[in-house]
């Protein structure tokens, strides 16, 4: 086993130098990256800048017992890129704040940054600034992402109109079931540390939990199809909560058809095994990081055959409220359980 | 006493709505603030964007026992604005990440945000985004600040040349002595909770610790004087460490004259009482958030009479190293103790 270096042995400046060496800059808008009081960016002419920030807190958003640091680093970047994508923008830079207790070694922090570096590579994002400090508690990762979008072309939550089609990318509920699998394996391990984890048949849902991808591909594909969503939001807290946000922002109601919700086979299988309703997992599970968006009904032909976009319903007048339409045709008011982390 | 609301009683969404109501937007470059997946900014034509991020962690950077939440909120914004000022840029927006344990009430978080709001007002900065979450540990505040500067006019750490004059704004060492006073009062309080704090004669140094100001005024005044610093950095970790950073970036040495270091009278008095060398407090104390910058020697006449700028030495060839010149004329290599928080 390679020797492990306590953080206090090298100090903050040396750690930053070590991490900095591995960073490549690839965005034309990055004038100056890490190493000064601030990074310098030169957004392209005619572009607006979008900015979003997210905190990931140990014990609340992740459990280091089953979340490998490299995956965690990747996910931390992906969830921020997802917010940028949800504005119809392309991510360009991130800055990273990291606070960690003495438990994590230099090598562990490097693993975490390696995951971030891989995500930056995948999404063509430059890591241009950071702050690394100690804490008395666990690990906290704070990422702020910047992106660019043609002036006036950012898509908000508020632009949806009654009759607009309500669409989601990918499939839902998987990340939540992946978490159930990981929690179960953790309990088994705690009961008997000799137990080998059995994740084989759950690979898909576990992957959805540990290494979600931001749907930047959908942003690019919609552009190629000539479709500009009227409103958009990313699905971090579960579909129900996001539909409520979108409708509140747009001043509309909605009809969401439960039988149209996209559920992958491994998700259905895992739900059956855990005796959970897959529809509930999709509505309230969260962490799928898919995109929820609306398009005018006149764009129906352009998207109906897209293999990775599903039309799950449509917006209505506000008075009609936000309803889930069951298979039997019954309208049930949608509950935004969302995410109350307090 | 007004009733206090546990955070869990209102949840994240309601807390954000409560905080959001108090936010005013004043920057012309802010197109959309809090409330969507990301904020939308439209930097003015010909401007570059600077971005910097900082974490403040309870137990490491602040002690809630003597740091009022409103001051803490103010300081969290000020230290980020200081980084933007150190680039010769004007701050425009911030985004805030906050994680807190169940100990803090809704009213406490509102106090913290009130401090941030006051700082945003003072520095004409818009709070455009945030993430608020729980933690199992203490309070962590993560702020990312954005600013703007005319393209090509950002001042880096790397532009200093031998013979350039080394200047600081304001005075040094006060924040460190303020911390000593607060720590002493804390110990007195822990020993006897009936003790009333005696901060009267220490008001200046305590203020320097609890409510530092970013020297944005100096950035504006240098512009009015027609002086563009060749290099600049803000003094967060103590003068010695920052001089070393600036010299490393610029590829120079420096001579810093101890007798020229600006020390306020209350700082000298507090140092005497605590039996500390005020020069050492200035060199290694940190948290003064003044600006350290260099100007060509030809600008001497323009700055020599500025009441709030002190010339403390000059840059030299790299081979001459970074030296403190004592009152007796002796050259002592400067030690960058800086800040190793691990």
What would the pLDDT profile of B134-154 be if each residue is shown by its tens digit? 888 889 999 999 999 999 999
B296 falls within a domain? yes
Same domain? For B237 and B321 the reply is yes
Q: How buried is A210 (Cβ within 10 angstroms: 0-12 exposed, 13-18 middle, 19+ buried)? A: buried
Q: Which residues contact B270 (CB under 8 A, 6 or more apart)?
A: B174, B177, B178, B180, B181, B202, B205
Q: pLDDT tens, B15-32? A: 777 777 778 899 999 999
Range(s) of the domain holding residue B325: 165-333
Helices assigned H by DSSP within chain B: 7-20, 69-85, 106-123, 174-191, 203-210, 216-224, 239-250, 265-274, 278-284, 300-303
SS3 content of chain B, % helix, strand, coil (to 5): 40, 25, 35
Residue-level pLDDT at A28: 92
CB nearest to A156's CB, from B36, B43, B130: B36
Q: Which residues of A111-124 are buried (b: 16+ CB within 10 A; e: fewer)?
A: bbbbbbbbbbeebe
Other C-beta atoms lying within 10 Å of the C-beta of residue B30 = 18
DSSP string, A143-156: EEEEEEEETT----
Domain count, chain A: 2
Same domain? For B95 and B195 the reply is no
DSSP string, B274-333: HT--HHHHHHH-----EEEEEE-GGGHHHHTT-TTEEEEEEEE-GGG-EEEE-TTS-EEE
Q: Which residues contact B83 (CB under 8 A, 6 or more apart)?
A: A37, A38, B52, B54, B145, B234
Strand, coil or helix: B178: helix
Residue-level pLDDT at B194: 79
Q: Are B40 and A48 a contacting pair at CB < 8 A?
A: yes
Q: Are B156 and A41 a contacting pair at CB < 8 A?
A: no
CA distance B1 to A339: 31
B287 falls within a domain? yes
Strand, coil or helix: B255: strand
Q: How far is B179 from chain A (nearest CA, A)?
A: 19
Same domain? For B146 and B194 the reply is no
CA distance A53 to A15: 24
- Give contacts of B128 with chain A, Cβ < 8 Å: 51
Select the residue from A84, A108, A144 to test the B interface by mutation, using most B Cβ atoms within 10 A. Answer: A144
Through-space distance between the first and last CA atoms of chain A, rounded to whole angstroms? 40
Here the tokens at position A10 are: 């090298």
CA distance B20 to A73: 30
Q: Are B38 and A59 a contacting pair at CB < 8 A?
A: no
Q: How far is A151 from chain B (nearest CA, A)?
A: 8
Q: pLDDT tens, A88-141? A: 999 999 999 999 887 788 888 889 999 999 999 999 999 999 888 888 888 999
Residue-level pLDDT at A107: 87
Same domain? For A187 and A323 the reply is yes
CA distance A243 to A316: 12
CB nearest to A37's CB, from B43, B83, B338: B83
CB nearest to A41's CB, from B15, B48, B341: B48
Last residue of a domain, one of B150, B181, B211: B150
Does B250 count as an annotated binding residue? Answer: no
CB nearest to A86's CB, from B37, B97, B147: B37
- State residue B273 phi and psi, 5-degree precision: -65, -40
Does B310 count as an annotated binding residue? Answer: no
A338 falls within a domain? no
Could you tell me what percent of chain B has a pLDDT over 70? 95
Last residue of a domain, one of A150, A175, A190: A150
Last residue of a domain, one of A126, A150, A174: A150
For tokens 């958009």, name the residue.
Answer: A232
Same domain? For B59 and B115 the reply is yes
In whole numbers, what is the pLDDT of chain A averaged over residues?
Answer: 91
Task: Say which CATH number the domain at B181 has.
Answer: 3.90.650.10
Under DSSP, the state recorded for A1 is -
Candidates A167, A311, A323; CA nearest to A252 is A323
Q: Which residues contact A217 (CB under 8 A, 6 or more apart)?
A: none
Q: How far is A11 from chain B (nearest CA, A)?
A: 5
Q: Are A138 and B136 a contacting pair at CB < 8 A?
A: yes
CB pairs under 8 A between A and B: 240
Q: How buried is A55 (Cβ within 10 angstroms: 0-12 exposed, 13-18 middle, 19+ buried)? A: buried
Strand, coil or helix: B16: helix
Same domain? For A146 and A181 the reply is no
Q: pLDDT tens, B72-126? A: 999 999 999 999 999 999 999 999 999 988 778 888 888 999 999 999 999 999 9
Q: How far is B108 from chain A (nearest CA, A)?
A: 14
**A243-253 average pLDDT score:** 96
Through-space distance between the first and last CA atoms of chain B, rounded to whole angstroms? 40
Choice among A8-17, A56-65, A102-111, B77-86 with the minimum mean pLDDT: A8-17
Same domain? For B130 and B172 the reply is no
Contact B252, B206 (CB under 8 A): no
Same domain? For A78 and A140 the reply is yes
Select the residue from A11, A51, A245 to test the B interface by mutation, using most B Cβ atoms within 10 A. Answer: A51
- Confidence category of residue B337, pLDDT binned at 50, 70, 90: low
Contact B85, B219 (CB under 8 A): yes
Choice among A110-114, A253-257, A333-337, B38-42 with the minimum mean pLDDT: A333-337
The ipTM is 0.90
Q: pLDDT tens, A169-201? A: 999 999 999 999 999 888 888 888 887 776 778
Same domain? For A195 and A320 the reply is yes
Choice among B180-189, B220-229, B300-309 with the minimum mean pLDDT: B180-189
Q: Are B135 and A137 a contacting pair at CB < 8 A?
A: yes
Same domain? For B141 and B189 the reply is no
Does B115 count as an annotated binding residue? Answer: no
Same domain? For B20 and B80 the reply is yes
Question: Residues of A marked as binding for ATP?
Answer: 113, 130-131, 157, 236
* Beta strands, E only, A183-300: 231-235, 253-257, 290-295
Strand, coil or helix: A336: coil
- Give contacts of A59 with chain B, Cβ < 8 Å: 135-136
Candidates B270, B264, B99, B296; CA nearest to B185 is B270
Contact A64, A75 (CB under 8 A): no
Q: How buried is A190 (Cβ within 10 angstroms: 0-12 exposed, 13-18 middle, 19+ buried)? A: exposed
Other C-beta atoms lying within 10 Å of the C-beta of residue B289 = 24
B340 falls within a domain? no
CB nearest to A41's CB, from B49, B86, B97: B49
Same domain? For A174 and A319 the reply is yes
CA distance A184 to A173: 17
Here the tokens at position B329 are: 């004329």
Contact A164, A253 (CB under 8 A): no
Q: Are A83 and B249 a contacting pair at CB < 8 A?
A: no
For tokens 């990055």, name the residue.
Answer: A30
Residue-level pLDDT at B2: 53
């Amino acid at each position: 086993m390679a020797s492990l270096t306590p953080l206090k042995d090298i100090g903050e400046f040396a750690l930053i130098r070590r991490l900095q060496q591995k960073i490549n800059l690839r965005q034309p808008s990055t004038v100056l990256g890490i190493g000064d009081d601030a990074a310098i960016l030169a957004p392209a002419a005619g572009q607006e800048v979008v900015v979003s920030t997210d905190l990931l807190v140990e014990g609340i958003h992740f459990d280091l017992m089953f979340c490998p640091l490299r995956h965690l680093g990747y996910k931390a970047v992906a969830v921020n890129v997802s917010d940028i994508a949800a504005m119809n923008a392309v991510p360009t830079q991130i800055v990273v704040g990291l606070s960690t207790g003495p438990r994590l070694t230099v090598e562990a922090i490097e693993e975490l940054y390696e995951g971030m570096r891989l995500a930056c590579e995948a999404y063509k994002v430059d890591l241009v600034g950071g702050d690394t400090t100690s804490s008395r508690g666990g690990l906290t990762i704070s990422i702020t992402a910047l992106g660019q979008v043609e002036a006036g072309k950012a898509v908000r939550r508020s632009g949806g109109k009654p009759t607009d089609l309500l669409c989601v990318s990918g499939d839902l509920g998987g990340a939540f079931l992946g978490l159930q699998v990981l929690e179960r394996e953790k309990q088994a391990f705690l009961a008997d540390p000799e137990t080998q984890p059995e994740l084989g048949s759950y690979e898909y849902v576990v992957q959805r939990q540990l290494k979600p991808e931001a749907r930047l591909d959908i942003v690019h594909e919609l552009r190629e199809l000539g479709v500009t969503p009227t409103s958009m939001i990313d699905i971090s807290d579960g579909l129900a909560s996001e539909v409520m946000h979108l409708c509140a922002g747009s001043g509309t109601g909605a009809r969401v058809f439960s039988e149209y919700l996209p559920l992958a086979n491994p998700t259905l299988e895992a739900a059956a095994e855990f005796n959970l309703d897959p529809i509930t997992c999709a509505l309230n599970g969260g962490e799928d990081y898919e995109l929820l968006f609306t398009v005018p009904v006149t764009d129906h032909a352009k998207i109906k055959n897209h293999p990775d976009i599903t039309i799950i319903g449509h917006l209505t007048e506000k008075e009609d409220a936000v309803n889930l339409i069951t298979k039997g045709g019954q309208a049930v008011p949608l509950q935004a359980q969302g995410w109350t982390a307090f």
